[in-house]
Amino acid sequence: MASPTTRTAPSTGPAPTPAPAPLRRLGGNLRWGFRAYGLLALMWIRVSFTYRTSFVLLTLGQLFITALDFVAIVIMFANVDVLGGFGLAEIAFLYGGSSLCLGLADLALGNIERLGNRIRMGTFDAMMVRPVPLFAQVCADEFALRRLGRIAQAAAVLTWATASVDVDWTVGRALMVPYLVACGTVIFLAIFTLGAALQFWTTDGSEAANAFTYGGSTLTQYPLTIYPVEAVKALTFIVPVAFVNWYPALYILDRPDPFGLPAALQFSSPVAGLALCLLAGLAWRTGVRRYRSTGS
């Protein structure tokens, strides 16, 4: 996901190596991109420690706000025994999975959603002239370590759910859990990037992106059996958030697909992730290319 309009790392001239030059350049770009991202993130972490009280309260706030999401589900279960045919532990598994993936993606590049604001204020131009990959800058901008709050809470729920669900744990099932988290995170990373890239066209529309990121996470907290079948198909083939946790979870929880969709979907999360990443990369590149400064 290196961005196109950035300068490359200082090159040291034509050094004779076996790898072809374009590939080497890409590797160098990527390494420089990640390094720049790390340095910027570190800087913002130091900044956040300046107002210590605020940092602690913000992290706790993140933890509580997501914890209450789960308490809400528990309250629903004070009134019912099953929801859409799934018990509390199973829904906790779905919730923990989707919330953890969103949390990780949000930590990595959540502030990308402020792109529209930056375009409006003209500060995006300043980023473009810096000799640091643009995408790395945008992702690391105001890197918010407090988001560990959500991650910690989601991980706790996922751990509890994994221990509580009535499943015959095979090696394959156990391996599916980290696989779910990895694929789901990639899917949310791509959705965040897509939402941000759209702001090159609609500067004020950042809130619409929330419908897909946070909305996607809220939606997949519940078993998809509560939605109409058309919606589930749309969530599989159009906005593929069903691949974040629903399809892997069907395999892990040993459930036949309630909608009778092919079992192969349960292993297709990487395909969905890759497709979304390609789309997000394309949208981002196109957006950066067509970007004209606000002109003020």
Partner 1 sequence: MLYAAIAARAFRRYSTYTAATLAGIFTNCVFGAIITFAYIAVWRQNPTAGGYDVTDAVTYVWLGQAMIMTVAVWNGGATDDLAARIRTGDVAIDLYRPVSFLGWWLASDLGRALFHLLTRGVAPTLVGGLLFDLRYPAGLTAWLLFAVSVPLAVVVSFAIRMLVSASAFWLLDDTGVRNLQAVFAMFFSGLVVPLVIFPGWTRDLAMALPWASYLQVPADIWLGQRTGVDALAGLGFQVLWAGVLLAMCAAVLRLAQRKVVVHGG
| Binding-site member from 21, 39, 43, 65 for partner 1 (CB under 8 A) | 65
Residue closer to partner 1, measured from CB, 160 or 227: 227
| Binding-site member from 15, 23, 78, 238 for partner 1 (CB under 8 A) | 78
210 is an interface residue for partner 1 by CB under 8 A: yes
The answer to whether 114 and 206 have CB atoms below 8 angstroms apart is yes
CB of 150 to partner 1, least distance (A): 12
Give φ, ψ of 241 to 5 degrees: -75, -15
The answer to whether 244 and 188 have CB atoms below 8 angstroms apart is yes
| Binding-site member from 226, 263, 278, 282 for partner 1 (CB under 8 A) | 226
Stretch that binds partner 1, among 5-13, 37-45, 205-213, 270-278 (CB under 8 A): 205-213
Q: What is the largest CA-CA distance in the chain?
A: 70
Q: How far apart are CA 244 and CA 227, in angstroms?
A: 16
* DSSP string for 103-166: HHHHHHHGGGGGHHHHHHHTHHHHHHHSSS-HHHHHHHTT--GGGHHHHHHHHHHHHHHHHHS-
| CB count in 10 Å sphere of residue 13 | 4
206 is an interface residue for partner 1 by CB under 8 A: yes
Residue closer to partner 1, measured from CB, 217 or 269: 217
Q: How far apart are CA 213 and CA 66, in angstroms?
A: 15
229 is an interface residue for partner 1 by CB under 8 A: no
71 is an interface residue for partner 1 by CB under 8 A: yes
Residue closer to partner 1, measured from CB, 142 or 254: 142
81 is an interface residue for partner 1 by CB under 8 A: yes
61 is an interface residue for partner 1 by CB under 8 A: yes
Among candidates 2, 21, 268, which has minimal Cα distance to 139? Answer: 2
Structure tokens at 37: 């991202």
55 is an interface residue for partner 1 by CB under 8 A: yes
Residue closer to partner 1, measured from CB, 12 or 53: 53
Our CA angle for 32, 35, 39, nearest 5°, is: 135
| Binding-site member from 12, 17, 79, 296 for partner 1 (CB under 8 A) | 79
Looking at this protein, which amino acid is placed at residue 23? L
83 is an interface residue for partner 1 by CB under 8 A: yes
Residue closer to partner 1, measured from CB, 17 or 79: 79
44 is an interface residue for partner 1 by CB under 8 A: no
CB of 178 to partner 1, least distance (A): 27
What SS3 state is found at 254? coil
Q: How far apart are CA 26 and CA 110, in angstroms?
A: 25
Distance of CA 148 to the CA centre of its chain: 14
Stretch that binds partner 1, among 161-169, 181-189, 206-214, 248-256 (CB under 8 A): 206-214
- Residues making contact with partner 1 (CB under 8 A): 51, 53-58, 60-62, 64-65, 68-69, 71-72, 75-76, 78-84, 202-208, 210-211, 215, 218-219, 222, 226-228, 231
